[in-house]
Homo-oligomer: A and B are copies of this chain.
Amino acid sequence: MPAPTKRDLISIEDLSTEEILELFARADTYREDLHGFSQVCNGLILAALFFEPSTRTRLSFESAMLRLGGGVITVPEGSSSSGAKGEALSDTVRVVGGGYSDIIVIRHPQDGAARVAGRYAEVPVINGGDGAHEHPTQTLCDLYTLWRERGRLEGLDVVLCGDLRYSRTIHSFAYALGRFRANIITVPYPGFEMPKYVLERLRRNFGVQATNASLGDLQDITDPEGGSAAAYLTASKPHQQALFPALTDRHLDRIDAIYMTRAQRERHSGESLKGYPVLSGKSLQAKMFENTRVMHPLPRLDEIDHELDKDPRAVYFRQAELGVPIRMALMAFLLGKIDLKAEPPLPRARDLYVSGHGGFICRNERCITNGDGKRHLSHEFFDLSDDAPLLSCAYCGKVARPEVVGDRKSMHFGPADSTWGRGLGPVVGEFFASENEARAAGFQPRNPD
């Protein structure tokens, strides 16, 4: 039965660092005796709602629930769901979470869909991947693998290689590495560098400093020109400056892990993948890779040579295997079947801005507030304002800066970053992308010319 106050896992940030480490320990227990815990969730039901295909993730969750002694109901593809009849996701999860099941895992093509599910379902909801937003159990599994292989996370030097632009998995893993104070070396396929918004979030939330780097030996693992795009991201306390300007200054003599990703082909239509990096025994001959662990979220295409599978440094199949016990631990926890000593994460002390009629809307076209929930979800944002107003969509997390703010009482508007504007705050204030939008919503300029 869910705990009195239900917990969801929509983002990896929904778990505290200490909770994550406790879940690792619990997963170890399950892993050592995979068939020994089939009474833990007896009589409980997991609903696996997969509105886009993801066999591996689905099977991993279903297996984990069965190993805990529970049952599973499944929507294996979106095509056969009521969604095809036009039902809103919020309705679907209210029904499925109302008596049908005791916990829900959801996979959905729209960013922020899992947050909607968590809000409307009465039972715990796990995000199994929502659009380009988050995939926290993959991240849990990746961290767990690295932790098991290395015994710790802090201070590790981890290479992220391949398509760093479109891979949701890479982004989530990067945030988690930053949080655990591991260092990141990015080795992107040229043209597919880590996006700016990811680097900004790494800096803002975890104080991670980015520096371009000439990578020397790392060239082995990519094409001759590829190394030039590499960068070094140092985990440090927020606002502490990076102590070295280039990677080589740090006498990097060993790489703890390389996390390789496939090209997200479905988003590369038309673009050639010629020269995409390929890991093989040959590309890992340098001394610094002697003890490196090669990780991959799978499925793998050609970016890791099959011949490497037998190399003891290849841990990607072990990584997949660990997905079951870590998901067992997660579900047993969310269902109230195990207790953790650790405290949950502190509630965010951020103000919430609920957009009124004509007010600011999320700029992410793939956000569920602009998709499935367009007709009934309000646009809500966390106020992250620093030097200037900064809004983060409460569903998809997309960050944007409104230019204009209005006073809901006086119906006047002015620049959002003015002293007057910043004084309004997200309760009285109504934000807009432009003056035109403010006027269209019936607001008048505060100081008309």
Contact = CB atoms under 8 A, between A and B. Distances in A.
Contacts of A99: 31, 34, 63, 320-325
A396 interface: no
Interface string A88-111: 101110111011110000000000
A306 B376 contact: yes
A57 to B, nearest CB: 10
Contacts of A317: 94-95, 98
Q: How many copies of the polypeptide does the oligomer hold?
A: 3
A80 B53 contact: yes
A1 B35 contact: yes
A301 interface: yes
B73 A63 contact: yes
A80 B76 CA distance: 8
A300 B83 CA distance: 10
Q: For this complex, into which size category does the number of interface residues on chain A fall?
A: 35 or more
Nearest to A35: B43
Q: Select the residue from A35, A55, A85 with max chain B CB neighbours within 10 A.
A: A55
A302 B55 CA distance: 33
A75 interface: yes
A248 interface: no
Contacts of A38: 42-43
**Which of A53, A59, A69, A75 lies at the interface centre, i.e. has the most chain B CB atoms within 10 A of its CB?**
A59
Given A34-B99, A42-B38, A59 B73 contact: yes
Given A53-B84, A82-B299, A86-B265, A67 B94 contact: no
12 contacts: A38-B42, A45-B66, A47-B59, A50-B80, A53-B79, A55-B81, A62-B73, A87-B300, A88-B300, A91-B300, A98-B320, A99-B320
- Which 8 residue pairs are nearest across A and B when measured between Cβ atoms? A87-B299, A66-B71, A306-B376, A53-B80, A99-B321, A38-B43, A98-B321, A82-B299
